[in-house]
Structure 1
Amino acid sequence: MATAFLDQGVDTRPTNANGGGFWQSGHWPTLVAAFLYFDLAFMVWVLLGPLAPDIARTLHLTAAQKGLMVATPTLAGAVLRVVNGLLVDRIGPKRSGAISQIIVIAGLLSAYLLGVNSFGGTLALGVILGFAGASFAIALPLASRWYPPEHQGKAMGLAGMGNSGTVLAALFAPALAKLFGWNTVLGLACIPLGIVFLVYLAMAKDAPNAPAPKTLIEYLHPLASADAWWLMGFYAVTFGGFVGLAASLPIYFTDQFKLTTIVAGYCTAACVFAGSLVRPLGGALADKIGGVKTLSVVFLLAAAALTGVSIAPTLPVALGCFVVAMLALGTGNGSVFQLVPQRFQAEIGVMTGLVGMAGGIGGFYLASSLGLAKQLAGSFAPGFLIFAGLALAALLGLTLVKASWRARWTSGAQI
């Protein structure tokens, strides 16, 4: 039966799927399945962040080790996104997603049964969780291939709203760790993951217009275009900022303001929820006014908010700045992926992997640099200020390329 689901899925697409409004223009069960898969994958991808204070106390980790521990899943996810991008174009997004989910569930279950007893063990677990982060390169093309260019921003935004799973981790992981111990949380996570896996098998369906498989050299062909590198750089700031903060904020709130892990989790959830909520709105806004205009405001707001965080004297001020930063970065995530399919529609699978990889690298940099800044300088401020500078550099780059993009891109959608 599982094989049948992998091959067929549930096809409830309307007969007028190529016309009408957004919901009539694609395959909504696949969009829902992509969202659920992405949501639970992101929940476990950042799971080490909310558990970090407890893990650090148990294993006696330094500030730099804590930063590296929560950053490792983002780096592993970045590398694996390229692999998943290749798999999507070779065997299809549905099969690729099924394989990835099985690996994550098996890895978490093994960690729960065997235990994680050293810093090296946390890094090994982080690599396994990277498969969850790499879901980005599967869920987005799974949904995107069903929708025409004029609805790409909304489709990618709704599927990408699965990054709200980071809210679930921040809300529930600290409380569950207090009740049952942090190692047990790893096993408990397998329950919702297993349920969503079955739903995914039943509802997801590969689009019929998938591009023909290419050779490895052809997969990497987009890297010959400067446009690919620009899009990767922009996403390294928007998504890198989002996931880097999602992983690091529990550590920041507990270290900076001496909050309990549960209260720090609530504060983190509020920030992450803001960024997750606006991702589809960012895609829709980019559909309406253009991804370039939207990103210009995003980078400016993110830089200002992160600068504010670096000098925030109290928890309410810091929390307010983080919410603004996450709202901007979440909007930027949707905006970048309104632009990607306009330029690389035929290579959307591999480009999703490449751009997603860049986002993961950005998140790894931010999370690890905050830990290093705290250990070396005694403050998180230098890490925030440097990333604010990167947002301004991205704004400058966007200003340099926007005229060329508008002249050369001919998808018919807003740029």
Structure 2
Amino acid sequence: MTAPSTAPAASRGGRWIQHWDPEDETFWNETGEKVARRNLIFSILSEHIGFSIWTVWSVMVLFMGPEYGLTPADKFFIVSMATLVGAIVRVPYTFAVAIFGGRNWTVVSASLLLIPTVAAFAVMEPGTSFNTFLICAMLAGIGGGNFASSMTNINAFFPLRKKGWALGLNAGGGNIGVPVVQLVGLAVIGASGGPRVLLGIYIPFIVLAAVLAWLRMDNIAELKNDTGAAKEAVKDAHTWIMSFLYIGTFGSFIGYSFAFGLVLQTQFGRTPLQSAYVTFIGPLLGSLIRPVGGALADKYGGAKITLWNYVAMAGATGVIVVASMQKSLPLFTVAFIALFVLTGIGNGSTFKMIPGIFQAKALAKGLRGEEAAAYGRRLSGATMGIIGAVGALGGLGINLAFRQSFLTVGSGTGAFVSFLAFYGLCFAVTWAVYLRRPATTTVTATAETEKKPQLSYAEV
């Protein structure tokens, strides 16, 4: 089996791998796994910094006291716009990997993080207009795009049997950028530093991520954008069903990550330091548990893990509603952190479902072996950007729901009630589409053929 070559492709400079077949076990054991793991490590680093810059405004708003002249509704709107941009840019970032190469685009996307960081560093002071802060937060949204390009790139490096673990680890390592920036913010606040100190800390790390990606990552020459696959993905109902389910998991994770500190400040009167002491815990645990969600999905099936995870998320949200109505800060905090953990498990299990669903469709079409694997890679790669983008829009919905809830009733209780109903709907969709057995019919060759795809979805 030919080893992967990092020699430059004809007329294309840089580290280009000409042959890549992770489904071949000999290839994978001899050369593929080592290369894939190396790319995974540096992909995680860049995505991690991207998440930190995307969510840096969840910390910045804690710094912004009365002297900044912003209401709680203004702050929720600022973080909402960062969420919105982060969701939108995930679509072009997905396709950028095949156009420029995974390594090359990682360098570019990491370097672009300097724009929002330097811009916020320049204007972060009392007297700056609301619109200026809003623009800077929107620029920070480009950090959300790093997830999509990173996941598309890593999806190409690993075989189907390892995707749940690899994608979970990649996404979880990136997600940890959220609690890390909040922990750094806690240290800065505790040391009586200003928001510019927080931003200044990140500038050299952005440069480091770009340099290491340039030196240590690879491009896969065979990875190309397939416009036919993109069109097919848009038309496939599973793309939109999984997008809906990902709103419930990742949308919740990123929305709560932005909002947790603000809710503690606004509803329970916590100071910036008191909020910062607990704000990072939920995103940290939710990030660390994501690979576990992927591993559980590898073992038991993503649909089953996702289904019962939504039951648990609804239960935790119900406890939050009670705690909010009773104004019990300890119960509210514990239940909220538990909800973060469950979003992490769901993030891992839902993303594992994507390649499994399209592999099942390939088998249902009569494809086998490498032909089936190629079909699964083609369609799952095309859908990941769409699903990641739509899922991130859930974060926008959560922050806008909180904004409206505080404007109308002065607390987040109304928002949590709506989230509880949504998780119930996600449970119903997961069961109806991926786990509900077909009605019993007379066994015929045709009936058996029709049931195979349905039954196989339970194992995705």
**What is the TM-score normalised by the length of structure 1?**
0.90
1:147 match: 158
Query: 2-side partners of 1:43 and 1:280: how far apart?
Result: 19
Structure 1 residue 10: deviation in Å? 10
Structure 1 residue 410: deviation in Å? 10
1:240 match: 251
Q: List runs of 5+ in structure 1 lacking aligned partners.
A: none
Match among 198, 201, 215 for residue 214 of structure 2: 201
Does 1:214 find its partner at 2:226? yes
Higher relative contact order (CA 8 A, sep 6+): 1
1:7 match: 14
Query: 2-side partners of 1:272 and 1:32: how far apart?
Result: 20
Match among 160, 165, 178 for residue 177 of structure 2: 165
2:318 match: 307
Q: Which amino acid aligns with 2:393?
A: I
Do 1:80 and 1:134's aligned partners in 2 also have CA atoms closer than 8 Å?
Answer: yes
Change in 2 beyond 3 A, CA 1:25/1:290:
farther
- Which structure has the greater CA radius of gyration? 2
1:41 match: 50
User: Secondary structure at the residue paired with 1:61?
Assistant: coil
Do 1:51 and 1:174's aligned partners in 2 also have CA atoms closer than 8 Å?
Answer: no
Moved more, 316-325 or 285-294: 316-325
- Count residues in correspondence: 410
Change in 2 beyond 3 A, CA 1:122/1:21:
farther
Does 1:132 find its partner at 2:143? yes
Match among 291, 294, 297 for residue 283 of structure 1: 294
Structure 1 residue 150: deviation in Å? 0.8
Moved more, 127-136 or 260-269: 260-269
Structure 1 residue 235: deviation in Å? 0.4
Q: Which amino acid aligns with 2:118?
A: L
1:372 match: 404
Match among 109, 112, 118 for residue 103 of structure 1: 112
Change in 2 beyond 3 A, CA 1:353/1:6:
farther
1:57 match: 66
Query: 2-side partners of 1:409 and 1:132: how far apart?
Result: 37
**What is the TM-score normalised by the length of structure 2?**
0.82
Does 1:320 find its partner at 2:329? no
User: Secondary structure at the residue paired with 1:363?
Assistant: helix
Q: Please, what is the CA RMSD of the aligned residues?
A: 2.9
Query: 1-side partners of 2:27 and 2:456: how far apart?
Result: 17
* Per-residue Cα deviation, 1:26-58 (whole angstroms, up to 9, x for no partner): 611101011111111111111111221322534
2:453 match: 408
Does 1:189 find its partner at 2:202? yes
Do 1:239 and 1:329's aligned partners in 2 also have CA atoms closer than 8 Å?
Answer: yes
Query: 2-side partners of 1:189 and 1:362: how far apart?
Result: 27
* Per-residue Cα deviation, 1:277-312 (whole angstroms, up to 9, x for no partner): 110000000000000000011111111112211221
1:332 match: 346
Q: List runs of 5+ in structure 2 lacking aligned partners.
A: 1-7, 359-375, 438-450
* Percentage of matched positions with identical amino acids: 23
* Per-residue Cα deviation, 1:4-40 (whole angstroms, up to 9, x for no partner): 99821899x9997744599937611101011111111
Do 2:98 and 2:225's aligned partners in 1 also have CA atoms closer than 8 Å?
Answer: yes
Structure 1 residue 165: deviation in Å? 0.8
Match among 230, 236, 239 for residue 225 of structure 1: 236
Query: 1-side partners of 2:246 and 2:31: how far apart?
Result: 25
Structure 1 residue 110: deviation in Å? 2.8
* Per-residue Cα deviation, 1:60-101 (whole angstroms, up to 9, x for no partner): 212221111111111101110011112223323322222222
2:443 match: none
* Per-residue Cα deviation, 1:289-343 (whole angstroms, up to 9, x for no partner): 0000000111111111122112213222112111221111101101111111232
Do 1:309 and 1:384's aligned partners in 2 also have CA atoms closer than 8 Å?
Answer: yes
Q: Which amino acid aligns with 1:176?
A: V
Do 1:298 and 1:328's aligned partners in 2 also have CA atoms closer than 8 Å?
Answer: yes
1:341 match: 355
Structure 1 residue 149: deviation in Å? 0.7
1:394 match: 426
